Amino acid sequence: MISQDLTTKLKTYRLSEEEYNLMKSLLGREPLPVEWPLFSALWSEHCSYKSSKVHLRKFSYRNERTPDMDGENAGVVDLGYGEKIAFKMESHNHPSFIEPVQGSATGVGGILRDIFTMGARPIMSANYLCFGEVTAPRMKYLMNGVAKGISSYGNCVGVPTVTGQTNLHSRYNKNILVNALNVGYFGPDMKMALSKAKGENNLVVYVGAKTGRDGVHGASMASESFDQDSESKRPNVQIGDPFFEKLLIEACLEVLKKDLVVAMQDMGAAGLTSSSFEMASKGQVGFVIDLKKVPLRDSTMTAEDILLSESQERMLLICEPKNFEKLQAEFKKWSLDACVLGEVQKDRKVKLMWGPELLTEIDPDLIVEKAPQYKRPYSKWHYPNRVESLPTPKIEVAKLIDSKLASFKLNQQHWIHNQYDQRVGARTAMACESSVAFARLDHSGRGLGLAVGCRPEVMLMDAEIGALDAVYYPAFQMAIKGAETLAVTDCLNFGNPQKTEIMSEFVASVEAIADAAKKLDAPVISGNVSFYNETLGENIISTPATGVVSLRETVENIIPDAFSNPFENIIQVQLNWVESWTYAEQSHNRISKFRQNSAADVPAFIKKCVGLDAFLKEKNKKISAIKAVGLGGIGATCLKMSRNNTGFDLSYDLSLEDESTLFKDVFYSFIISTGEKTEEMVKLLNGYFDELGVEVKKIGETKDGEMILSKNSKLAFKDFQTKYFKDLEAASV
Amino acid sequence: MSLKVGVARFLGTNCDDDVRKWVTAKSHTAEYLWFENQFNTNEYDMVIIPGGFSHGDYLRCGALAAQTPVMKSIREFAAKGKPILGICNGFQILCETGLLPGALLRNQGLKFKDEWATLKVNQSKNAFSSKMEKNQLLKLPIAHGDGNYYAEADTLKKLQDKEQIWLTYEGKNPNGSLMNIAGITNEQKNICALMPHPERALYEWMGSQDGMYLL
C-alpha cells in the first residue's frame, strides 16, 4: 500500500508508482522536493518519448546526404555546393485546443528555435492542421484563432509560411491538431551549432526573454488526455512574442558567425530543466546553476516554477569566459539580455543552487538517458478494410456530384493561407496557391521543394496504407514538378498509447513510414510524437503527419497546378496501386473499402516522375499544367486545377464508362494539360513509363469559362464560385 | 550609374536582406543604416526603408521607428531632395514621421492579407518611376495587416491636385484604402512609398518581374 501523501504526489507530478520506484532506485534514496518536478517533466511522454522510443529506432536509415546528428534538435541534409538544410516538425495540439491563438503561435516559435539553435536561418514554414466539423462547439473560434496565431507569429519573425494542409473531420471535434514545420538554411559560410555542452569552467549563459509563470507543467499537460477540466489548464499555455523571437534569431546567428558560442540549446518543453540537463547529458559534463540568477518576470516564483516554466523566446548558451563580454555586447545590440547562470564542471552532476544553498545534485543521465521506456502491447497489422474486388457503389451521379462539391475542400484553406506572409525572404517560387512549395536556395539558386503529407481519410481506411501514403503522396506531388525526394520529418499524432488498437496503428504507421522513406532513399531525419490526443476516451484519427523536402535543379519554369490555356488536351497518367471509394465526406465516420495492386512499384514510379520534366523538354514537348490526382478522383482534381476562368470538359470521353468513376480515388495518378497532339503525347508517356504498368489516356479538354464534368453536370465559373467557394470563408468571419 | 543605397534597419525589420539583394542585383551598393545611429547624408544617393515589424509594431505600426536617430538623418536626407523609398512598414514609418501625409489603418476585414495585386501607375514623374509609364499596370504582391490608406478629405484633394497619388489598386482593393491608394509620393516627388513589395517581384520565377521597374 502506498500512502495517501504519495498518491497525491504521484498525481500532481503525473508519475506512476513504477516510475516512482525507478526514481528511487536510480537515486538510491527518496527524491528531494525539488527533484519531483525534474523527473515529472523529463519523464513525461512529451520529453522522454517513453512509449515510442523503442519503435522510433526503425527510422535509423541514413544515406550520404544525411549525417547522423546524434540527438540534435533537428535533422540535417547536406545538399552539396556547401549548402545544408535543417528541418523538423512539431505538434502543439493540446495548447492550441485550450488557447488557439497563443497555442499555435508558440508552436511556430518553438519549431523556429529548434532550427536556429542549430545555426540555420529559418527560410520556410509550413503547417499541418486538423479541425473538427465547422458546426462543432468552439470550432470556428479554434480555426480562426489558429490561423491568426500562426500568421501573426510567422509574419512578424519574417519567415514565409509557404505551404500547409487543413483537414476537417468530426473525429477532431474535441482534439484539434496543430503541427508546425520549419526548414532552416546553412549557406557555405555558416557554422552549425551543437547542443553538447563542453569545456570545464565555460559559462552557462541565459539569453532572451525573462522567465514567467506561463507554461509551468506544460510538458506533462501535453502528455495527458483531455477531460472536462481542460479549460482550467489555460494557465499552462505559454504566451509568445514574435518580435522577441526575431531579435533572438538575429542575435544568435550573429554570435555563431563571430564564433562566440560553444553550444546552444533553446528552452522548449520543460524549459530550463530540459535544456540544462540535456546539454549536460549530451556533453557528458556537469553544470552548476544558480536559479536565483534567472531573470524573472515575477520575483515570487519558486525554484520549481523556474525549473518548469515554458516562457517563450529563451535560449541557453555555453560560452568561453573570455568571449562573454563580446557575446553580451552582441545581444545588447539586439536589445536582449545575456546573463551568466553558472558554469560547466567536469564532475558529471547538475548542481542546482538557490543562492548559496544547494538544492540538489543529480547525474543528468539519470533523468535524460535512464528515463523509462515502455514496450506497450500492440498487434500485427491486418488490413481490416482491404477487399479483393471493389464494387462500384450504386449511386445517383447528380447527387454524388452535388455532395462532392458541397463538401469540397477546394477553397477551405484559401482564407487561412491568405493570412500568411508567403514571400518574405524573396526566395519563394511557389507557395500556398499550389499543392507544393518551392524556395530558391541563396547560394546555388536551386529549388528546395516542401510538401506536407498524411490524408486522414486514408488513415481511417487503413493505417499502413495511410502512413505509406503520408510519405509517398507529398513525394509524388513534388516529383511531378521535377524535384527529387531528399528527406522526411514526421509528427506522429495518436491517441492513448496504452490502448492496444492505438498502439497497433502507431507501430504499423512507424514501420510504413520507415519503409517508404527507405525505398525513396529519403531518410526520416527528425520528428515528434504526440500521444494522448483523446478527449473523454474518444481518440482522434491516427494522424502521422509528414513533411517532405525535395530538390530541383532550378526554380525557373516550374509547371503550375492550374490550367491556363483553353482548348488543350487533358491527359491522365495512372499507376494502379490502390483504388478506393471515399465519396461520403458527409457521413464522416464511414470507412471506405480499398483494393490494392501489390505489383505496383510506387517508389519506382515516383522516382521516374522526377525526370519527366527534363524528358519532355528534351523531346521539345510543352505542358502547361500538372497536378497529382487527389482524393475525389479526376473530377475533384480538375475542379482544383480550374482557375482564372479556364475550366475543362470531361464529358465526351467514352473511356469514362460510368460517370461515378469521376470521383473514384486512385493512388497514384497525375493530370497534365498540353497543347501537343494527343496520340504523340500518349505514345511518348507510355514509352517513358514503360515497364511500370501505367495507364495513359486522354480524359478531356480545357475549356473557357466552364467546368463540364459530364453531360448532365455543367458548371459556369461564376456559379461555382458563389455556390461552393463561400462556405468556409463565411465560417472564418 | 551605380548608386550607394542606404537600407534602414530597425529592430524587427524583416525585408532588409531582400531589399539588399534587390539593390545589389541592380549593380548598386547597399549599406545598412542601423536605427540607433545617425548617418552622413552626403554619403548616400538613395535611402530605402524596408518592410517588417519595426519595434514589434508596438503602439502603432511605425510609431516607435519614427522616433529613432536614423530617422533624424532621413529627414535631413529628405530635405535635400534626395530619393527615399518606403515599402510596407517603410510606408507606415514615413507617414508616422510626417514625411508623407495620411495614415495606414487596419485592413478592412481586420485580417492580414497576402496576395498578388494589380496596380495602376497614376503618375510617373517621381524618383522611382523613370522606367514606368503613366497608366501602366504592375503585378506586385502585398503582405500586410495595416495597409488601409486614410487621409482627411482636404489632404486627399491635395494629393490629387499635386499628383501625389502614385499607385492605385486596379480591380480589387485588398484593404479598403481610400481612392484605392496603394502608393503615394510627397509634393516634391522625391519621397515615394507603397504597400506592395517590389523586392518580391523581380524575376519570372517569383511570379512577376515588375518590381524591377522601381529601381
> Could you tell me the three cell numbers for B133?
509609364
Q: Which of A55, A92, A169, A417 is catalytic?
A: A92
Inform me whether the pLDDT recorded for A608 exceeds 90: yes
Q: Which domain holds residue B194?
A: 4-214
The reported pLDDT for the residue numbered B88 is 97
pLDDT category at A127 given cuts 50, 70, 90 is: very high
| Cα separation values, A571 from A95, A391, A496, A648, B193, Å | 46, 26, 45, 12, 47
CB neighbour list of residue A586: distance below 8 Å, 6 or more residues apart: A403, A406, A407
The reported pLDDT for the residue numbered A310 is 87
Q: Do A423 and B200 touch (CB under 8 A)?
A: yes
The reported pLDDT for the residue numbered A223 is 61
Inform me whether the pLDDT recorded for A607 exceeds 50: yes
Instruction: Tell me if residue A509 falls in helix, strand or coil.
Output: helix
**A713 and B CB contact within 8 Å:** no
The reported pLDDT for the residue numbered A633 is 86
Name beta bridge partners: B139: B118
Is A211 in contact with A314 (CB distance < 8 Å)?
yes
Helical spans, DSSP H, in A412-462: 414-417, 456-461
Between A636 and A557, residue with greater pLDDT: A557
> Could you tell me the three cell numbers for A242?
514574435
**B171 and A CB contact within 8 Å:** no
Interface test with A, best of B37, B142, B205 (most A CBs within 10 A): B205
> Could you tell me the three cell numbers for B37?
545611429
**A558 and B CB contact within 8 Å:** yes
Region B118-135 average pLDDT: 96
Region A648-666 average pLDDT: 72
Region B69-94 average pLDDT: 98
The reported pLDDT for the residue numbered A294 is 95
Shortest Cα distance, chain B CAs vs residue A242, angstroms: 8
The reported pLDDT for the residue numbered A67 is 87
The reported pLDDT for the residue numbered A410 is 47
Q: What is the pLDDT of residues A669-678, one digit of tens each?
A: 999 999 999 9
Residue B46 belongs to domain with CATH number = 3.40.50.880
Inform me whether the pLDDT recorded for A639 exceeds 90: no
Region A360-368 average pLDDT: 91
The reported pLDDT for the residue numbered A230 is 60
**A156 and B CB contact within 8 Å:** yes
Active site residue B199: yes
Q: Do A426 and B113 touch (CB under 8 A)?
A: no
How many other C-beta atoms lie within 10 A of the C-beta of residue A135? 10
Task: Kindly state the DSSP code that residue B13 receives in the 8-state scheme.
Answer: B
Average pLDDT, chain B: 97
Q: How far apart are CA A129 and CA A150, in angstroms?
A: 11
**A426 and B CB contact within 8 Å:** yes
Average pLDDT, chain A: 89
E strand intervals along A415-501: 428-430, 437-440, 447-453, 484-493
- Which B positions 103-162 lie with beta carbon below 8 A of chain A? 111-115, 141, 143, 145
pLDDT category at A392 given cuts 50, 70, 90 is: low
Task: Kindly state the DSSP code that residue A540 receives in the 8-state scheme.
Answer: P
How many other C-beta atoms lie within 10 A of the C-beta of residue B212? 16
Region A566-583 average pLDDT: 88
- Which A positions 90-109 lie with beta carbon below 8 A of chain B? none
Max Cα distance, chain A (Å)? 86
Question: Where does residue A682 rank: exposed (0-12), middle (13-18), buried (19+ CB within 10 A)?
Answer: middle
How many other C-beta atoms lie within 10 A of the C-beta of residue A544? 27
Inform me whether the pLDDT recorded for A436 exceeds 90: yes
Instruction: Tell me if residue A410 falls in helix, strand or coil.
Output: coil
Q: What is the ipTM of this complex?
A: 0.96
Active site residue A443: no
Q: What is the pLDDT of residues A304-338, one digit of tens each?
A: 889 988 888 999 999 999 999 999 999 999 999 89
Phi, psi of A568 (to 5 degrees): -100, 165
Region A369-388 average pLDDT: 92
Region B63-83 average pLDDT: 97
Phi-psi region for residue B60, left (φ > 0), alpha (ψ -120 to 50) or beta? beta
CB neighbour list of residue A433: distance below 8 Å, 6 or more residues apart: A417, A561
Task: Kindly state the DSSP code that residue A559 receives in the 8-state scheme.
Answer: P
Searching chain A, which residue's CA lies closest to the CA of residue B145?
A: A419
Interface test with B, best of A312, A423, A448, A556 (most B CBs within 10 A): A423
Q: Do A556 and B205 touch (CB under 8 A)?
A: yes
> Could you tell me the three cell numbers for A43?
519523464
Q: What is the pLDDT of residues A69-93, one digit of tens each?
A: 777 778 899 999 999 999 999 999 9
Inform me whether the pLDDT recorded for A652 exceeds 80: no
Inform me whether the pLDDT recorded for A587 exceeds 50: no
Instruction: Give the CA-trace dihedral at A461, A467, A469, A470, to 10 degrees.
Output: 120
Inform me whether the pLDDT recorded for A235 exceeds 70: no
Q: Which domains does chain A have, with CATH numbers?
A: 15-48+193-371 (3.90.650.10), 54-186+411-558 (3.30.1330.10), 559-733 (3.90.650.10)
Region A678-692 average pLDDT: 95
Q: Which residue has the cell 464560385?
A: A721
Between A475 and A630, residue with greater pLDDT: A475
Q: For chain B, how many structural domains are there in total? A: 1
Is A573 in contact with A685 (CB distance < 8 Å)?
yes
Q: How far apart are CA B30 and CA B52, in angstroms?
A: 18
The reported pLDDT for the residue numbered A585 is 47
Question: Where does residue A114 rank: exposed (0-12), middle (13-18), buried (19+ CB within 10 A)?
Answer: buried
Q: Do A423 and B52 touch (CB under 8 A)?
A: no
Region A244-251 average pLDDT: 95
